[in-house]
Amino acid sequence: MNADLDIFSDGYVAFVKEDCPTCLLIEPVLSRLAELGQLNAVFSQDNKDFPALDITIDDSDLRLSFQHGIETVPSLLKFQDGVEVGRLVGWLKSEWEDFCESPDLCSESFQNFSPGCGSLSVSPDLLPSLEKRYGSGLGSRLVEFAAAEDEVERMYELGWSDGLPLVPPTSERVLRMLDGTTRSSDEILASVPPNLVDLSIEKIAINAVMAGCKPEYLPIVISALEAVCTDEFNMHGLLATTMPVGPVMFVNGPIRNEIGMNSGMNLLGQGNRANSTIGRAVQLTIRNVGGGKPGGVDRATHGSPAKVGLCFAEDEEGSPWPSYSQSQGFSSSQNTVTVFPGEGPRLITDQLSRSPDELARSLAIGLISNCHPKIVLGMDAILVISPEHAARFADAGWSKDDLNSAIIEQSIRSTDDLIRGANGIAEGLPEDFAGMELPKFRPDGGLIIVFGGGGAGLFSTSIAGWLSGDKGSKYTTKEIAK
């Protein structure tokens, strides 16, 4: 008999196991109820052929026993209109006859009482796995909404949203999300800023659901948060600064294609679920678990898309150079996520330069304006170079390191033009820096170059960073562990 049939309508169902003397005792009673048409099903926990009735259903996976809260076998449950209206446990002849409204269930000589046995669904050895598989198995507080409430609007009112609609994090959705990782749901990953609250894998999964992630995205979200919640990255500082910065993330390795990330046309824009939701899940976690909300610790003057979530993938297959993660010592088979303290993307246009020297000089001029043309060395940057721009360098035999060095060299400027008051501009370096020549970025890692974008368009994009070093934030690359 198929358990999917309408067995929980009007009538009775019983839960038994063969390894129970009381269940063996009442086998004739169950047969009698079946003959009378009162018993819809018997769920057997340990033997699909016990009792030998056409209505016996195999419940050896204990799903229905667990979901119906069976603590003792035998249990007899009565249903009306699909709702349980009563139950008996163990065997007491008079109670069963009254409950079933059947005075002739068994002979006068039949044993009157037997207490029953513990259900397999409450066995200490099995219960944890059953909770994980069939129950919520979750430690987080359940927030229940009234039937008439609009879930999306209510989540706005509770302050969980970043301004966009959220996916309601039901227990079922959170459990499905947790299937995306092998890590335990109660593992504490880190203390999440700014309030330094313990961050469990379960809390990450809840926010990943709300962000719209798929379970296969979860390992990236976890690894990104592990990198973000460090003293070196200084997420608290990113929140507290009035600059418009947040964690900008890019992904390398086979996982990019496995989950369908965009590394080509419009890679920094809308339209790709993984790109759009991974970064959002990180930011929602910081907001909802760590307390990093705008107007509170988050003091950004203007903000930027990086505050919502900015995540993309590098186009490794189309690149003429090794990937960024390979340049950091990872192999092409390793999956990594790099977190960078950045603001919104900014276009650098050059449709006329044909030689690599010309284009390197042009890109350098575009990058000099990041944050402010008079600010040097203190701010790092990402340069997302497009296929058409990269082709200028690749065709001339330039490596990525050659390009990086050329941009750094072409950005060197006399500090006499950068000090405060120079060229009638009060902003600038202290006068102590006069008489020097300095590049825009640190030569030892101040500029990250990644390859990506659509095949047409002589453009590249810069993402300006925040204060680098011990007083600011250090970007980092972390291997993604499933």
Does residue 143 fall inside a structural domain? no
Check whether residue 252 and residue 298 sit in a common domain: yes
Cβ-Cβ contacts under 8 Å for 94 (sequence gap 6 or more):
112
Check whether residue 435 and residue 310 sit in a common domain: yes
> What confidence tens digit (pLDDT) does each residue in 400-459 have?
999 999 999 999 999 999 999 999 999 999 999 999 999 999 999 999 999 999 999 999
Does residue 218 fall inside a structural domain? yes
Decide which of 108, 126, 144 is a domain's last residue: 126
Does residue 197 fall inside a structural domain? yes
- What is residue 133's predicted lDDT score, i.e. its pLDDT? 74
Check whether residue 295 and residue 431 sit in a common domain: yes
- What is residue 9's predicted lDDT score, i.e. its pLDDT? 79
Does residue 107 fall inside a structural domain? yes
Does residue 416 fall inside a structural domain? yes
Q: Angle 201-211/218-228 helices, nearest 10 degrees?
A: 120
Check whether residue 100 and residue 206 sit in a common domain: no
Q: Residue 295: left if φ>0, alpha if ψ -120 to 50, beta else—which one?
A: left
Check whether residue 85 and residue 162 sit in a common domain: no
Check whether residue 122 and residue 156 sit in a common domain: no
Residue 350, pLDDT above cutoff 60: yes
Does residue 105 fall inside a structural domain? yes
**What does the block give as tokens for 400?**
């990525």
> What confidence tens digit (pLDDT) does each residue in 226-285 have?
999 999 999 999 999 999 999 999 999 999 999 999 999 999 999 999 999 999 999 999
Cα 408 to Cα 440: distance, rounded to the nearest angstrom: 7
Check whether residue 92 and residue 187 sit in a common domain: no
Residue 322, pLDDT above cutoff 70: yes
Residue 171, pLDDT above cutoff 50: yes
> What confidence tens digit (pLDDT) does each residue in 369-385 have?
999 999 999 899 999 99
Check whether residue 331 and residue 282 sit in a common domain: yes
Q: What is the pTM of this model?
A: 0.74
Does residue 429 fall inside a structural domain? yes
Task: Please answer whether residues 446 and 377 qualify as being in contact, where contact means their C-beta atoms are separated by less than 8 angstroms.
Answer: yes
Q: Pick from 131, 133, 281: which is nearest to 206 by CA? A: 281
Q: Give the domain range for residue 329.
A: 152-479
Cα 320 to Cα 317: distance, rounded to the nearest angstrom: 8
Residue 4, pLDDT above cutoff 60: no
Question: Cα–chain-centroid distance for residue 27?
Answer: 50
Check whether residue 121 and residue 156 sit in a common domain: no
Check whether residue 225 and residue 331 sit in a common domain: yes
Check whether residue 177 and residue 318 sit in a common domain: yes
pLDDT band at 72 (very low <50, low <70, confident <90, very high): very high
Query: Residue 108's domain is classified under what CATH number?
Result: 3.40.30.10
Residue 3, pLDDT above cutoff 60: no
pLDDT band at 108 (very low <50, low <70, confident <90, very high): confident
CB atoms within 10 A of CB 113: 11
Does residue 390 fall inside a structural domain? yes
Is residue 127 classed exposed, middle or buried when 0-12, 13-18 and 19+ CB atoms within 10 A define those classes? Answer: middle
Number of domains into which the chain is organized: 2
Question: What percent of the chain stands above pLDDT 90?
Answer: 85
Residue type, 229: C
